[in-house]
Structure 1
Amino acid sequence: MRGNLTKSMGDLVHLRYLSLVGSAFEGLPQSMGNLICMDVLDLQGNLHVRVTVPNVLWKIRRSMHLHLPFNFAIKEKF
């Protein structure tokens, strides 16, 4: 099953570690910018799926480790 992650992901503001290794997701919500306490964000999902990453990950100031998928695109907020 493929799809986008839910918008309520941004409500988990105290989340420090998120790994989506092997997951079949195609996009992340803009609310990911709310995860200001994130230390490790591993978005390496399925190698054959193009993942849309929002241009809000720069808001995660504490991020020490960011692993992006092999095939990704930046989504600008309109």
Structure 2
Amino acid sequence: MAERDPGERYGFEPFDCAPALRLEAHERVARLQHDALLHRLQKIEEALAQLERRLWLAVYGVMAAILAQAFQPLLAAMP
């Protein structure tokens, strides 16, 4: 006698029921939404890193301008 799958009933082919398909579709949608959320989060993190670099560049530029103005009278006073 042929071995049967324990979930298989004699004379019937296995099938996917509507609630299982709906649950599987919901899981796929949730996975896609999660992946999209991770992608957007990665883009936000990259934008924040770029903004941080620009901010530090501005801070260093302001400090250079202040130091240049501070040393300008000293350089002008030297013979």
TM-score normalized by structure 2?
0.18
Higher alpha-carbon Rg: 2
Higher relative contact order (CA closer than 8 Å, sequence separation 6+)? 1
The structure with the largest strand share of the pair is 1
The structure with the largest helix share of the pair is 2
